Structures are given as C-alpha cells and as structure tokens.
C-alpha cells in the first residue's frame, strides 16, 4: 500500500490494524526508520503498528473506529431528523418512503416482541438497527479505497468498519446490559433477587447453584450479543481482504477475483442486514425479559 512492498501476510495485517492512540510505558523500545529509541517516560502517542498498539494495552483508543461509528451515528440522526421535518400526510416518496418503511418494520417487530410498557424501547430499537446497519454497510466499500486516500495525507492505518472492532460491538452490548440491569431492578425490585436465587430450583438449598447459573446466564447475554456481531463482520471483512489480495497475484487472477468480489458482496448484503436485525431483536427481547415481573 502507498508505495510499500507488502507481502500477503503484511497486507492482511496492515488492513486489520487500527489507527490507535495511547500511552506507551517508560522503557519501551520504539523503532523508527531502523533506529531504536528507548522511551524515558510514559508517552502518549500514535501507535506505529500493531505491536505498539498491543503495548498500549487498556490505555488506548481506536481513533478510526470511534470516528466512523460516531460519524455514522450523526448521519443517521441528521437523515431521520430531516425526513421527520419533511413528513406530511400525503403519499411518501423517495427517501421519506424508505425511512417510513424502516420505522414501520422496526415498530411491528417491537410490538410483536416487547410485552412491557416503555416508550424508550421502540426508538432504541430503531437506533440500534439503523446504526448497526450503517456500520456494517461500510464493509461493502472497496478495502483499499479509503485506506489509500488516508495514506495520501499521512494516516497509515484506517479501519472503516466499526463493527469489526470488538471494542465497538462490546461497548454497545455493555450499554444494553446496563439497561437490562436497570429495568430488572426498577420493574422487579426485590423480585429480581428472588429470580436470581430461586430459579430454576425453588428451594433454599439450591440458592448457590441458582445464583451461579442465573448470574452466568445474565452476563452471557451481552457477551454473546457483542461477540456475535463482531465475529460475523470480522469474518466478512477478512474474506474481502483475502479476495483483494488475489489482485496482486497476477493478471490471471483479475477476472476470478473480480467475480468472487461481486459474488461475496451480494451475499454479504444479506449478512449485513441480518446481523443488524439480530442485534436489534435480541436487544428488544432482553429488555422485554427485564420488564416481566410475574
């Protein structure tokens, strides 16, 4: 990329490296143009590769993932706000018709799935579905297009699909988990404690077993929610990168690689939509469970 003679392995690693900002510890040895530099103190800086990003540990932020996810969220808000201002009682057309179809689709799914009374759930479901869909949709952008453009202005790494970053997907899942916890306590009160300790075995002797099983199951919900989205989108991105690497194998591979790229793109559209739908439905299901106070 950008003048670099990368091997296939290096090409893949380059595409899977985030633009990372964080703190390198004192004593860390940095290599810059073949010269080694020993840091005398903790240093906040941009990572020069995956090894430095790993050394930063928890004190790091993936700037590209954050920027793209926030930017796509703003696009969603501005687009839907614009449509809401233009909506009328007449026959909708164009973007207005598309947005109304999405809203009706999400609303019908919430009515079928959510059995409590909470005005926040439907807007939350709409936000989750569209936001995740937009993040997933970035996977259809040619893998070298935007990274090459950013490389021209001196930005060496750029991952443009936020849902292939576990920090993003697990962060969203953590938000769902906190809402689950809040509504379980708010709606059920002490009944939430009883639910954790007296199910599935309704006997005091089984309280430790019940508590262990219920807590593990409760915590597993957000983990599975975030990891499912990350795993599917990461695998899809990896296949796009592998197909793109074939273009560098010689002219004979241009046509087969192009056909594979087109075929996988068409199939991936289904995955993109399905993963957004699953994330939305499971969010609504988990919140519905939190509102069941029987």
Tens of pLDDT along 161-173? 999 999 999 999 9
Which residues are annotated as catalytic?
A: 224, 228, 232
SS3 per residue for 162-175: HHHCHHHHHHHHHH
Neighbours of 243 (CB within 10 A): 21
Cα end-to-end span (Å), the chain? 59
How far apart CA 256 and CA 242 sit, in angstroms, is 13
DSSP string, 173-239: HHHHHHHHHHHHHHHHTHHHHHHHHSSSS-SGGGHHHHHHHHHHHHHHHHHHHHHHHHHHHHHHHHH
| Cβ-based neighbours of 264, under 8 Å, separated by 6 or more | 236, 239, 240, 243
Alpha-carbon distance of 233 to 239, in angstroms, equals 10
Give the model's pLDDT for residue 6.
67
- What pLDDT is recorded for position 292? 83
- The string over 14-29, giving b where at least 16 C-beta atoms fall within 10 Å of a residue's C-beta and e elsewhere, is bbebbbbbbbbeeebe
Strand partners, 37: 30
pLDDT at 2: 44
Supply the DSSP string of 114-145, one letter for each residue: --S--TTHHHHHHHHHHHHHHHHHGGGS-TTH
| pLDDT computed for residue 5 by the predictor | 56
Domain map of the chain by residue range?
Answer: 62-291
What is the three-class DSSP state of 243?
A: helix
**pTM across the whole model:** 0.90
pLDDT at 279: 96
Q: In angstroms, what is the C-alpha Rg of the chain?
A: 23
Query: Residue 91, CB half-sphere, CA atoms under 13 Å: how many?
Result: 0
**58-61-64 Cα angle (round to 5):** 150
Point out which residues pair with 43 in neighbouring strands. Answer: 24
Residue 283 token pair: 């969010």
The pLDDT score that the predictor gives to residue 1 is 47
Smallest Cα–Cα separation from 275: which of 179, 124, 134?
134
For 292, left (φ over 0), alpha (ψ -120 to 50), or beta? beta
Report the distance separating Cα 27 and Cα 103, nearest Å: 54
Given the structure tokens 């009682």, which residue do they identify?
89
> CA-to-CA distance for 252 and 257, rounded, in angstroms?
9
DSSP 8-state class, residue 216:
H
Reduced to 3 states, what is the DSSP secondary structure of residue 151? helix
Low-confidence ranges of the chain (pLDDT < 50): 1-3
Q: Which helix (H) or strand (E) holds 40?
A: none
Beta bridge partners of residue 31, listed in sequence order: 36
């Amino acid at each position: 990329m950008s003048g670099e003679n990368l091997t296939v392995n290096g090409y893949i690693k380059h595409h899977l490296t985030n633009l990372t900002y964080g703190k390198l510890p004192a004593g860390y040895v940095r290599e810059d143009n073949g010269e080694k530099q020993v840091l005398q103190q903790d240093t906040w800086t941009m990572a020069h590769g995956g090894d430095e990003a790993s050394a930063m540990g928890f004190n790091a932020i993936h700037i590209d993932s954050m920027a793209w996810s926030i930017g796509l969220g703003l696009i969603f808000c501005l687009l839907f706000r614009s449509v809401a201002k233009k909506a009328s009682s007449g026959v909708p057309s164009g973007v207005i018709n598309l947005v109304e179809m999405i809203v009706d689709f999400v609303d019908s799914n919430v009515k079928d799935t959510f059995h409590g009374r909470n005005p926040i759930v439907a807007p939350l479901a709409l936000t989750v579905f569209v936001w995740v869909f937009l993040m997933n949709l970035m996977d259809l952008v040619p893998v070298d297009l935007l990274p090459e453009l950013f490389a021209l202005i001196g930005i060496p790494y750029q991952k443009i699909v936020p849902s292939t970053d576990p920090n993003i997907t697990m962060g969203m899942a953590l938000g769902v988990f906190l809402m689950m916890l809040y509504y379980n306590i708010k709606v059920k009160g002490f009944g939430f404690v009883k639910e954790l300790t007296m199910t599935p075995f309704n006997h005091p002797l089984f309280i430790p077993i019940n508590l262990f099983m219920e807590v593990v199951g409760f915590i597993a919900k957000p983990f599975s929610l975030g990891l499912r989205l990350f795993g599917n989108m990461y695998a899809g991105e990896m296949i796009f990168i592998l197909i793109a690497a074939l273009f560098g194998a010689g002219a004979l591979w241009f046509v087969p690689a192009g056909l594979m790229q087109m075929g996988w793109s068409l199939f991936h559209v289904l995955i993109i939509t399905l993963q957004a739908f699953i994330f939305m439905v499971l969010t609504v299901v988990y919140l519905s469970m939190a509102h069941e106070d029987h």
